[in-house]
Amino acid sequence: MNAVEFAVSVVELPVEAATPLAVVFDQLELFCVDDEPDTARAGIYLGATYTSSQGRGGAVSDGRLPELLAQVAPGATWMAWDDPHEGWLGTVALSAPGLGLWTGQCDGSGEIYLPAAALPDPQTLLSNPAALDRLAVLSGQAWLERVTAGHAALAADPSPGAGFVPSPPPVEAEWDRPSGLIYIDDPVAGTQIVHAPPGPPVGEINEAAARAAETALQRAGWQLMPTAVSGPTWQRAGHATHVAQLHRCPPRTDPAQP
């Protein structure tokens, strides 16, 4: 990478997060060697290094990129890093479910750099077990182990399509509140209709109505796009209609249903 680039590598990704993440990658012009040039993104290649040269130096160090990735793919395991620039080291961020976010300094390939002054002396490590725990946190050991385990699992999986998560493009939905009908413009299956409880014919969408609509969509295999990439949910499009962006997700069943 050159001095204006940053990179992301995802090793574990819930299928329902693939489309939102792909939209983010498109917005940031993040591509890997497996992407087909001049074609729509088909999915996310796990374990691949996606790089961008938008000139947005500091996307990781100022927290913008880690925060965005956490919002659109909270169940994913990934690492992201800025390239060193003008004599300064880069910044690397790692995230994994159950661990949260870790950040530190790195070189141009994302390798973590620990200054010698930050390392405890060998005698302290031998005599004080707590020093080992602090060193593990300082070096991001648990996060690196999760990323390494993700790479190992990908390499060991012989099944076709392993390491690739499809990301169908988001679609637009129009919600007619008085009838409760949500019309989904699905380019693959054609227009679909989801039945949600009728809402108020006038006024703003209240929380209960929005939650009922979201539940109906989830049961039908759809999920609202995160506001971090699509803006406010259910934007007004008429006197009693609102629109939102959706993406496919595994259908959720009602536990009360047999």
Q: How confident is the model at residue 7 (pLDDT cuts 50, 70, 90)?
A: very high
Share of the chain above pLDDT 70, in %: 87
Q: How confident is the model at residue 19 (pLDDT cuts 50, 70, 90)?
A: very high
Q: How confident is the model at residue 199 (pLDDT cuts 50, 70, 90)?
A: confident
pLDDT at 242 exceeding the cut of 70: yes
Better-scored residue on pLDDT, 135 or 69: 69
Say what the pLDDT of residue 255 is.
Answer: 39
Say what the pLDDT of residue 238 is.
Answer: 79
Confidence (pTM)? 0.85
Say what the pLDDT of residue 4 is.
Answer: 52
Q: How confident is the model at residue 257 (pLDDT cuts 50, 70, 90)?
A: very low
Q: What is the pLDDT of residues 96-131, one digit of tens each?
A: 999 999 999 998 888 888 766 666 667 666 667 766
Q: What is the 3-state secondary structure (H, E, C) of the chain?
A: CCCCCEEEEEEECCHHHHHHHHHHHHHCCCECCCCCCCCCCCEEECCCCEEECCCCCCCCCCCHHHHHHHHHCCCCEEEEEECCECCECEEEEEEECCCEEEEEEECCCCCEECCHHHCCCHHHHHHCHHHHHHHHHHCCHHHHHHHHHHHHHHHHCCCCCCCEEECCCCEEEEEECCCCEEEEEECCCEEEEEECCCCCCCCCCCHHHHHHHHHHHHHCCEEECCHHHHCCCCEECCCCEEEEEEEECCCCCCCCCC
- Give the lowest-confidence range in 4-13, 36-45, 196-205: 196-205
Chain mean pLDDT for the chain: 86
In the chain, domain spans: 6-164, 170-248
Q: What is the pLDDT of residues 20-40, one digit of tens each?
A: 999 999 999 999 988 887 788
Q: How confident is the model at residue 3 (pLDDT cuts 50, 70, 90)?
A: very low
Share of the chain above pLDDT 90, in %: 52
Q: What is the pLDDT of residues 38-65, one digit of tens each?
A: 788 899 999 999 998 775 668 898 899 9
Q: How confident is the model at residue 244 (pLDDT cuts 50, 70, 90)?
A: very high
Say what the pLDDT of residue 121 is.
Answer: 65
